C-alpha cells in the first residue's frame, strides 16, 4: 500500500499537518537538518563510540581501527547527550523545537536521547510503545527521530501503524521469536490488518515525530554496508511529572527530575534537576538469520 504522509515544510506546523499528527500519531519533517549538521553528528557519534567523550561500560578499545570498524560493532547508546555537549545541543535544535512546541506544549522537557548506529546486520527493535517504558501520564510523550543516514526498508527504517496511538492504552506484550528483532517479546499485533503497517523510509536530514503511544518497530539492517544512523530524542510537556524508574533501575519516584528543559517554563523549577541516568550501550543481541 502506498502511503501519503503529511509533512512539515518551511511553513511549519499548520492545521492540516497538526491534524494529521493528531489522527495518525506521526509527522515527517523532511530536510530539517543541513548536510553540515549531519556530518558533525556523524563525526561526533564516532567520537562517542571511540570512547573519546567518556568511558561507558562495554565500549571496546578502538585503537588502530577505522571509524567504520568502530561503528560496525554497535547498535545504539542511550543518553549520549550526557557525554557530548554537541549532541546535547541538538535537543534544542530550533527547527525541531518549533514543531514540538506546536504538537506537544509550549513548556517542553527532554528526558531521554538515544543514538542508533545500527550497523549492517544489527537487529531491529520489536513492536512497542514508548509510553510503556517512559510513563508521561498526560500522553504528551513524543520521539523526534533524526535521520543521520537515509533510512530504508533494507537498512532497517522505522515501521509504524498510523492511528495506533488511539485510544491511548498500553497494549499487551506477548512472547515472540521474530528473527528481525533483538527482543523476544513484542506487542500483540493481531488486531491490526497487515496493510496498516507501514515503513517510514526517509532521507537523511528528515525528522520523524511520533507519539509515545504509537505502535512502532524497526527491522534488521539487512544491507552489507549501509549504516542506519539516527539520533532519537524524547520529549514531553513540562507540566506533567515523570514517574520513571527506568524499569526498576532507579528508586521509585513520582517525578524523575533528570530532565533538560528545552522551551518555556518549568512549573517544578523549585525541585532541583538531578543527574541519575548514566549513558549505557544497548545490549547487543546475537544476529539471528531467518
In the complex, which residues of this chain contact ligand AKG (CB under 6 A)? 114, 116, 124-125, 130, 143, 145, 158, 216, 218, 230, 232
Q: Which is nearer to ligand AKG, 62 or 282 (CB)?
A: 282
Residue with cell 511553513: 11
139: left (phi over 0), alpha (psi -120 to 50) or beta: left
How far apart are CB 98 and ligand AKG at their closest, in Å?
21
Q: Which is nearer to ligand AKG, 17 or 221 (CB)?
A: 221
Give the angle 124-128-130 at the CA atoms, nearest 5°.
Answer: 110
Q: Which is nearer to ligand AKG, 230 or 236 (CB)?
A: 230
How far apart are CB 14 and ligand AKG at their closest, in Å?
26
Q: Which is nearer to ligand AKG, 62 or 108 (CB)?
A: 108
How far apart are CB 124 and ligand AKG at their closest, in Å?
6
Q: Which is nearer to ligand AKG, 82 or 216 (CB)?
A: 216
How far apart are CB 95 and ligand AKG at their closest, in Å?
19
How far apart are CB 143 and ligand AKG at their closest, in Å?
5
CB neighbourhood size of 58 (10 A): 13
How far apart are CB 157 and ligand AKG at their closest, in Å?
8
Q: Which is nearer to ligand AKG, 149 or 258 (CB)?
A: 149
d(CA 180, CA 199): 14
Q: Which is nearer to ligand AKG, 218 or 222 (CB)?
A: 218
How far apart are CB 16 and ligand AKG at their closest, in Å?
25
Give the residue closest to ligand AKG by C-beta: 218
Inter-helix orientation angle 94-103/15-24, to 10°: 70
CA 44 → CA 8, 69, 161, distances in Å? 27, 15, 32
Nearest to 127 by CA among 63, 217, 213, 42: 217
Amino acid at each position: 500500500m502506498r502511503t501519503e504522509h503529511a509533512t512539515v515544510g518551511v511553513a511549519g506546523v499548520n492545521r492540516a499537518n497538526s491534524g494529521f499528527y493528531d489522527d495518525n500519531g506521526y509527522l515527517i519533517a523532511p530536510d530539517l537538518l543541513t548536510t553540515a549538521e549531519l556530518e558533525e553528528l556523524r563525526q561526533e557519534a564516532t567520537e562517542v563510540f571511540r570512547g573519546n567523550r567518556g568511558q561507558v561500560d562495554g565500549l571496546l578499545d578502538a585503537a588502530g581501527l577505522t571509524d567504520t570498524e568502530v561503528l560496525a560493532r554497535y547498535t545504539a547508546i542511550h543518553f549520549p547527550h550526557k557525554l557530548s555537549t554537541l549532541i546535547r545541543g541538538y535537543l534544542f535544535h530550533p527547527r525541531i523545537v518549533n514543531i514540538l512546541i506546536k504538537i506537544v506544549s509550549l513548556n517542553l522537557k527532554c528526558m531521554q536521547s538515544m543514538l542508533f548506529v545500527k550497523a549492517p546486520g544489527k537487529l531491529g527493535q520489536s513492536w512497542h510503545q514508548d509510553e510503556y517504558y517512559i510513563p508521561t501520564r498526560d500522553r504528551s510523550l513524543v520521539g523526534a527521530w533524526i535521520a543521520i543516514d537515509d533510512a530504508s526498508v533494507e537498512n532497517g527504517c522505522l515501521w509504524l501503524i498510523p492511528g495506533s496511538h488511539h485510544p491511548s492504552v498500553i497494549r499487551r506484550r506477548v512472547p515472540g521469536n521474530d528473527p528481525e528483532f533483538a527482543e523476544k517479546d513484542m506487542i500483540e499485533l493481531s488486531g491490526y490488518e497487515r496493510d496498516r503497517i507501514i515503513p517510514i523510509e526517509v532521507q537523511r536530514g528528515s525528522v520523524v515525530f511520533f507519539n509515545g503511544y504509537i505502535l512502532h518497530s524497526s527491522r534488521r539492517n539487512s544491507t552489507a554496508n549501509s549504516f542506519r544512523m539516527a539520533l532519537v530524542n524524547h520529549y514531553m510537556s513540562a507540566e506533567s511529572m515523570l514517574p520513571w524508574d527506568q524499569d526498576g533501575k532507579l528508586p521509585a519516584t513520582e517525578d524523575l527530575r533528570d530532565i533538560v528543559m528545552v522551551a518555556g517554563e518549568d512549573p517544578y523549577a523549585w525541585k532541583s534537576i538531578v543527574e541519575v541516568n548514566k549513558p549505557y550501550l544497548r545490549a547487543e543481541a546475537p544476529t539471528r538469520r531467518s
